């Protein structure tokens, strides 16, 4: 029974399709093929994995070795047109990096102290040891520089000359550093000063003045001629300006918003070194420093003999004339006291780097209302912001510091200053532009597919179902008209009250028609007719029985 229903349904569908005509069938087939192709293309675009770069700026030899290792590990890398970039699906990046690291790829561009691990020492002379030491030092410095933010690659060249034999002067060392910054983030002067300090501190007897810093374009960021104020002062000025800028911007952003304030700080530093020595004496602070007591004693004697000879002048010899001689003795004493006057001595050294003058410029955006109208900030608001900037920057009027706060309308697309490492919305869009484009393309394809394909197809199907329903309804109406004489009362011959009168049809409510296929009926029958017949049988079984008998006995 079920197979017969299925076969009749298929036959009805085939007949309906034949009724559409050859031209309509060709159009429907072409539409179905186009929709299928568009669906497959959209799905392929949407299901394409998101590729991310695994290695960039690789040489041809390194790319060849890495592709070979990745293919051995079961990956299918995609190579760029110039052969310098390898890409893989995002979920395979971590495993691919581990596989390349296990194979020792990509090769480290800067060899460090591992050079001495690879040498056995046999046959190594002093010249080769010096060369390896120089290479290792350059490689380690380059690796350290590459850890700095915004630095992609670095090369370091050191010149460490040795003192010649019998020479009293040692030649000075020098260094050159080439830094390739990341795209969109150029290397600023403060970072170049930090690199210079790093190199000079790591190499013995290397002065910062002899370190040259160049960028990837070949322009000198710092050179030997660029030492007008000293490396330390430039670094200190940059640090002071950045610290004060952050202080002022953070306290103002709490009121106006981080995107509505711009701050610039200029610091003028003292470049001179001053040594001040002061010494003062207090006469009231007399302290005895030393006391000296001196006592002198003397004794003389003269003999009676007036003759002058040697015996009379020899001491300790009595020549018999002493009794008649004359003797004298004398004693003297004195005290000497030295006094020290109290004194105070102070020495003060002023190193370069003291702040001589600060200049702070602040620009704040105005106020935008809900209607999109711009209103500058009031004078009271500007005064409060100026007072906050004074306190945050430590402004001193005695030094002649100056703070300027103004309210101006910001240009469209202006971005707040500060660190760009964290990445903003623009960086995220730029990194994922390919995946975003593929997703948008897939959405557009699916939308066009639904609008131009599925919608007309549904209209055609609804039209076919409506035509089939009209045909079934016409058949059901014809059958009802043939059965009308039997739907009368058997005793009076009058139409039964429960039988609907075809001349006065009852009011019906339009609704979605539902069709039912019956094996003994050609075509489909609307369900509401079957429901009406069921209700008629339940309300008046006897009349329904007579009506059915009349249908059975009806000829034709």
- Among 34-43, 465-474, 492-501, 533-542, the minimum mean pLDDT is found in 492-501
pLDDT at residue 500, as a whole number: 47
The predicted model gives 530-540 an average pLDDT of 76
Distance between CA 252 and CA 342 in Å, rounded?
55
Q: Could you read off the pLDDT of 183-223 as tens digits, one per residue?
A: 777 787 778 888 999 999 999 889 888 899 988 888 888 77
pLDDT at residue 417, as a whole number: 44
The predicted model gives 524-552 an average pLDDT of 74
* Coil vs helix vs strand at 388: helix
Q: Could you read off the pLDDT of 261-286 as tens digits, one per residue?
A: 999 999 998 888 888 888 888 777 77
Highest mean pLDDT among 112-116, 169-173, 489-493: 169-173
pTM (2 d.p.): 0.39
CB 276 within 8 A of CB 347: yes
CB 293 within 8 A of CB 330: no
pLDDT at residue 32, as a whole number: 79
Q: What length is written for the chain?
A: 556
* Coil vs helix vs strand at 210: helix
Nearest to 157 by CA among 107, 110, 99, 105: 110
The predicted model gives 374-383 an average pLDDT of 89
Instruction: Tell me which of 413 and 9 has the higher pLDDT.
Output: 9
The predicted model gives 472-500 an average pLDDT of 48
**C-alpha dist (Å) from residue 327 to 298, 309, 319, 322, 375:** 11, 19, 16, 10, 121
For tokens 């016409």, the residue is 474
Q: Could you read off the pLDDT of 419-435 as tens digits, one per residue?
A: 444 444 565 666 566 66
Which helix (H) or strand (E) covers residue 334, if one does? Answer: strand 326-350
Q: Could you read off the pLDDT of 313-348 as tens digits, one per residue?
A: 666 655 555 445 567 777 888 877 777 777 788 888
- Check whether 42 has a pLDDT greater than 90: no
pLDDT at residue 476, as a whole number: 54
Enter the tokens of residue 519: 């094996």
Nearest to 540 by CA among 461, 487, 476: 487
Q: Is 222 exposed, middle or buried (0-12, 13-18, 19+ CB in 10 A)?
A: buried
**C-alpha dist (Å) from residue 48 to 37, 41, 43, 133, 359:** 16, 11, 8, 50, 55
Enter the tokens of residue 496: 């039964």
- Check whether 359 has a pLDDT greater than 90: yes
Reported confidence tier of residue 104, pLDDT bands at 50, 70, 90: confident
The predicted model gives 138-148 an average pLDDT of 89
- Check whether 360 has a pLDDT greater than 90: yes
pLDDT at residue 510, as a whole number: 42
DSSP per-residue codes, 231-263? HHHHHHHHHHHHHHHHHHHHHHHHHH-GGGEEE
pLDDT at residue 471, as a whole number: 60
- Among 239-243, 331-335, 443-447, the minimum mean pLDDT is found in 443-447
Q: Output the average pLDDT for the chain.
A: 75
Considering only the C-alpha atoms of the chain, give the largest distance between any 2 of them, rounded to a whole number of Å: 214
Taking residue 81's Cβ as centre, other Cβ atoms within 10 Å add up to: 6
CB 282 within 8 A of CB 341: yes
* Coil vs helix vs strand at 118: helix
Phi, psi angle pair for 434, to nearest 5°: -65, -45
pLDDT at residue 174, as a whole number: 92
The predicted model gives 94-110 an average pLDDT of 77
Rg of the chain, C-alpha, whole Å: 55
Reported confidence tier of residue 103, pLDDT bands at 50, 70, 90: confident
Distance between CA 220 and CA 492 in Å, rounded?
120
Omega before residue 106 within 30° of 0, cis: yes
């Amino acid at each position: 029974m079920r197979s017969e229903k299925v076969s009749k349904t298929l036959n009805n569908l085939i007949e309906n399709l034949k009724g559409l005509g050859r031209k309509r069938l060709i159009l429907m087939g072409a539409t179905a093929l186009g929709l299928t192709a568009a669906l497959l293309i959209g799905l392929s675009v949407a299901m394409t994995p998101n590729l991310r770069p695994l290695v960039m700026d690789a040489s041809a030899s390194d790319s060849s070795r890495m592709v070979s290792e990745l293919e051995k590990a079961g990956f299918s890398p995609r190579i760029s047109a110039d052969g310098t970039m390898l890409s893989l699906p995002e979920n395979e990046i971590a495993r691919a990096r581990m596989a390349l690291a296990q194979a020792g790829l990509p090769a480290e561009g800067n060899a460090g102290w591992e050079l001495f691990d690879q040498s056995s020492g046999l046959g190594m002379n002093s010249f080769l040891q010096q060369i390896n030491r120089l290479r290792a030092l350059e490689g380690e410095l380059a690796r350290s520089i590459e850890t700095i933010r915004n630095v992609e690659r670095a090369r370091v060249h050191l010149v460490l000359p040795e003192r010649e034999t019998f020479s009293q002067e040692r030649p000075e060392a020098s260094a050159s550093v080439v830094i390739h910054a990341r795209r969109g983030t150029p290397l600023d002067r403060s970072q170049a000063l930090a690199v210079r300090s790093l190199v000079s501190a790591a190499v013995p007897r290397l002065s910062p003045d002899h370190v040259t810093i160049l960028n990837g374009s070949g322009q000198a960021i710092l050179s030997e001629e660029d030492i007008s104020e000293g490396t330390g002062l430039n670094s200190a000025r940059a640090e002071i300006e950045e610290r004060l800028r952050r202080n002022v911007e953070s306290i103002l952003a709490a009121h106006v918003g981080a995107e509505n304030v711009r701050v610039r700080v200029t610091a003028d530093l003292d470049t001179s070194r001053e040594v001040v020595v002061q010494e003062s004496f207090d006469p009231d602070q007399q302290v005895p420093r030393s006391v000296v007591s001196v006592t002198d004693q003397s004794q003389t004697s003269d003999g009676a003999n007036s003759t002058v000879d040697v015996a009379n002048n020899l001491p300790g010899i009595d020549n018999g004339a002493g009794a008649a001689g004359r003797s004298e003795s004398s004693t003297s004493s004195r005290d000497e006291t030295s006094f020290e006057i109290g004194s105070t001595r102070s020495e003060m050294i002023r190193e370069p780097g003291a702040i001589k003058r600060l200049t702070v410029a602040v620009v704040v955006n105005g106020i935008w209302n809900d209607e999109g109208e711009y209103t500058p900030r009031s004078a009271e608001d500007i005064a409060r912001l100026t007072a906050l900037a004074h306190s945050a920057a430590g402004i001193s009027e005695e030094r002649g510091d100056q703070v300027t706060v103004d309210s101006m309308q910001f240009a469209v697309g202006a971005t707040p200053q500060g660190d760009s490492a964290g990445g903003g919305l623009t960086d995220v869009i730029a990194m994922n532009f390919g995946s975003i484009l593929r997703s948008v393309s897939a959405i557009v394809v699916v939308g066009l597919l639904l609008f131009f394909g599925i919608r007309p197809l549904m209209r055609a199907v609804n039209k076919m179902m409506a035509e089939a329903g009209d045909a079934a309804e016409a058949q059901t109406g014809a059958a009802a008209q043939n059965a009308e004489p039997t739907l009368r009362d058997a005793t009076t011959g009058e139409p039964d009250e429960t039988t609907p009168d075809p001349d006065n049809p009852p009011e019906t409510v339009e609704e979605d028609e539902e069709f039912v296929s019956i094996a003994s009926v050609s075509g489909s029958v609307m369900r509401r007719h079957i429901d009406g017949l069921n209700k008629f049988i339940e309300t008046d079984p006897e009349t329904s029985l007579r009506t059915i008998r009349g249908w059975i006995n009806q000829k034709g």
